[in-house]
Structure 1
Amino acid sequence: MQSDTEVAELLRHHGINPTLQRVVITRIIYARATHLSAEDVFRLVNADDRRVSKATVYNTLGLLADKGVVREVIADPNRIFYDPNTAPHHHFFDVESGELTDISADQIHVSGLPPLPTGAQLEGVDVIVRLRPSKR
């Protein structure tokens, strides 16, 4: 998905009004096909002499996550990543580099979940495997 028209259609499909800023932010996330933080998105959006406020970037990312256009991944308590891959999957997180890498959902099997609280239903399980380069 590269064109503004395709991005606008994706946003409409998810019930989002495709403003210019929302289209630009979404296009950047999908063009990179990687995990970006809000700060990464803010920097990339404004790299071409645009003036999109930090509040607009953060609000748009929250909206995109709420509507299922991107997935929020909290691998680090100080930073939320935004993932264009919304299919079920898990992540490796390198604590030194801050890099987040996908793990296919079929590579991790979770068993023995505790009983859910009354009135709750399982929405999903997200596994984040934290890594650190080994010392040689």
Structure 2
Amino acid sequence: MNAIHPHRPAPRQGIVELLQAHDIVPTQQRVEIARWLFSEPRHLCAEQLIGLVGEAGCRVSKATVYNTLGLFVGRGLVRELIVDPERVFYDTSTHHHHHFFNVDTSELIDIPEEALAIAHLPEAPLGTETTGVQVIIRIRNSRQ
């Protein structure tokens, strides 16, 4: 998996306000996780986030990171992108859009929603409704 180069974390006060606006108690660990997650628009897996937080000198358990990411997904702060059974990324851009997934580099690249047209969706099963469509197009580096 590609290394994520750390940048500056998001300002603490802005993160505290963001968490509070989504009814999330801003514990020290949640704030530190969110500061790195929201430092810029990005796609991170939990392991990459653990690395960033650890490099910044904050001790956070793997379970805490996963629980925090689950909470953030549940409150609409990030989108969970399951690219295969063993790879889950968290996208800080929560607007509807699609992705390329490079199988060689494990990189996710945004595709604007309007760049992809879906002509017809099947009817949702009885008693359900479609809430969105998420397309992940798998690519690899050219073999020249």
Is the TM-score greater than 0.5?
A: yes
Moved over 4 A (4+): none
Identity of aligned residues (%): 47
Question: d(CA) in 1 for partners of 2:138 and 2:47?
Answer: 21
Map of 1:42 onto structure 2: 50
| Residue matched to 1:79 | 87
CA RMSD, 1 decimal: 1.3
Q: 1 or 2, which has the higher helix percentage?
A: 1
Match of 2:17 among 9, 15, 19: 9
* 1:40 shift after superposition: 0.4
Q: Give the number of equivalent residue pairs.
A: 136
Give the alignment of 1:112-123 within 5 angstroms: 112-123=120-131
1:130 equivalent to 2:124? Answer: no
Displacement of 1:50: 2.0
Aligned counterparts of 1:43 and 1:133: Cα–Cα separation in 2: 26
Distance 1:17 1:114 in 2: 40
Number of the residue aligned with 1:98: 106
What is the CA–CA distance in structure 2 between the aligned matches of 1:109 and 1:95, rounded to whole Å? 23
| One-letter amino acid of the structure 1 residue matched with residue 22 of structure 2 | H
Q: Which runs of 5+ in 2 are unaligned?
A: 1-8
Question: TM-score, normalization: structure 2?
Answer: 0.90
One-letter code aligned to 1:52: V
The amino acid of 1:96's aligned partner reads D
* 1-10 or 56-65: bigger deviation: 1-10
Structure 1 length-normalised TM: 0.95
CA distance in 1: counterparts of 2:10 and 2:106, whole angstroms: 27
Instruction: Output the CA distance in 2 between the equivalents of 1:19 and 1:56.
Output: 11
Distance 1:124 1:27 in 2: 28
Is 1:58 the counterpart of 2:66? The answer is yes
